[in-house]
Amino acid sequence: MTEVYSFFDIFDGNGQLLDYKGREEDIAYLQREMAADGSFRGRNGKGGDLYFTFFGAAAMRLLGEDIPGCVQDFITRCRSRDAMAMVDRLFLSGTECLLGSAGERKLPEDDLAWCSSLLTEPDRHQTHHLFLAFAILESVGELPGESFLGDIQRELYRRRTSQGGFRNTPRMGPPLVTATAAAVYILVRSAAEVGTEVWDWLAANQTVTGGFCLHPWSPWPDLLSTGTSVVAFRVAGRPLPAEDGIARFIELQQGKGGGYRLFPRSRCADVESTFYAILVRRLIEEVSAPC
C-alpha cells in the first residue's frame, strides 16, 4: 500500500498513470470547462472563479496532465486585485501549491503569513477553511509551532458532537461529513487523537450505494461527502468501508461525455465533483496497489 503523506502529495502520483475506462473523456471534459482566461468554469457556466480553478487544476494533476500555462497566468492576474475574498485567496494559494511538486512548492511570504493567521485564530474560521490552510502550510513545510497546533486541536474538539461528527462552525449547525473529514485530516496529521466514535459516525453516513451523505438527514449521497470521507480514512491508514461500493458509486456518476455529477439526480457534471471522483479513483488505486 502506498502511504499518503499529505493532501498535496496525492497530486504527485505514485509513479503510475491513473488509468480507467472513461479517462480520456474526463480529460476532454476538463479541457472544455477551461475558460479563455485560464480559469475553470463554475456550476453557472461562467469562468473567472478561483474556487473552481483549484479543483480543475487539481483534477488535471491527478490525471497526470500538465496544467496549462494559462492557469498560471490567471493566478498571476488575480494576485493584482486590490481586494480578494478570504475563500478566493485561500484557493489561489492552494492552486499555487498545485503548480509545484513535492520539495518545490513555494508561496509568497505574505501568503504564508496570511494562511498562518487563519490557524492562529481557529475559532473564527470554518473547519473546511482550516483544513485547506493547514494543508497548504504543510505542503511548503511552514506549519505553526506545537502551541498553535494545540489551539487548533482544542478548537476542533469543541466542534465535535456527542454522536462523533464535527460541525463546520464553532457553535452552531449540525455535524457534517465534509467538516468531519476536514477535522480528521488536521487531527491525524498533527498526531492528535481521533476516537472510534468519529469513524463509526462517518461509516454510518455511507449508503447502500457506496456513496456518503453529507449528514444523517440527507436524502441521497454526493461526491463531495464521498471524496472527503475517503481522504479521511486514507490519511489515517484505515481500510475503506465497502470499497467496491464506493468505486461503483463513482462510476455511476460519470457522464457520457466525461465529468461527474454531484448527486445521483443531478442533471449536469461540474468541475468540483469531477475532481472528487478522480481523487477517489486515485486513492482506491493506491489502496489496492501491491506493497
In a domain, 1, yes or no: no
Q: Which residue has the cell 458509486?
A: 249
In a domain, 257, yes or no: yes
What is the gyration radius of the CA atoms in the chain, in angstroms? 18
Q: What is the pLDDT of residue 23?
A: 96
Q: What is the pLDDT of residue 15?
A: 62
Q: What is the pLDDT of residue 2?
A: 42
Write the CATH number for 72: 1.50.10.20
Q: What is the pLDDT of residue 14?
A: 62
Alpha-carbon span 271 to 52, nearest angstrom: 7
Q: What is the pLDDT of residue 291?
A: 38
**pTM greater than the 0.85 cutoff:** yes
In a domain, 2, yes or no: no
In a domain, 213, yes or no: yes
DSSP code for 103: T
Q: What is the pLDDT of residue 175?
A: 97
* CA within 13 Å, CB half, 104: 5
- Tell me which residue range forms the domain holding 40: 8-288
Q: Smallest Cα–Cα separation from 274: which of 219, 226, 214?
A: 226
Q: What is the pLDDT of residue 92?
A: 95
For the chain, list residues with pLDDT below 50.
Answer: 1-2, 289-291
In a domain, 159, yes or no: yes
Side chain identity, residue 144: P
Q: What is the pLDDT of residue 171?
A: 80
- The set of cell numbers assigned to 36 is 479563455
Helix extents (H) in the chain: 23-32, 50-62, 69-79, 86-98, 109-120, 127-139, 146-159, 177-189, 196-204, 223-235, 243-253, 271-288
pLDDT digits (tens, 9 = 90+) for 78-94: 988 778 899 999 999 99
In a domain, 40, yes or no: yes
In a domain, 210, yes or no: yes
Domain count, the chain: 1
**Cα three-residue angle 56-61-66, rounded to 5 degrees:** 95
In a domain, 261, yes or no: yes
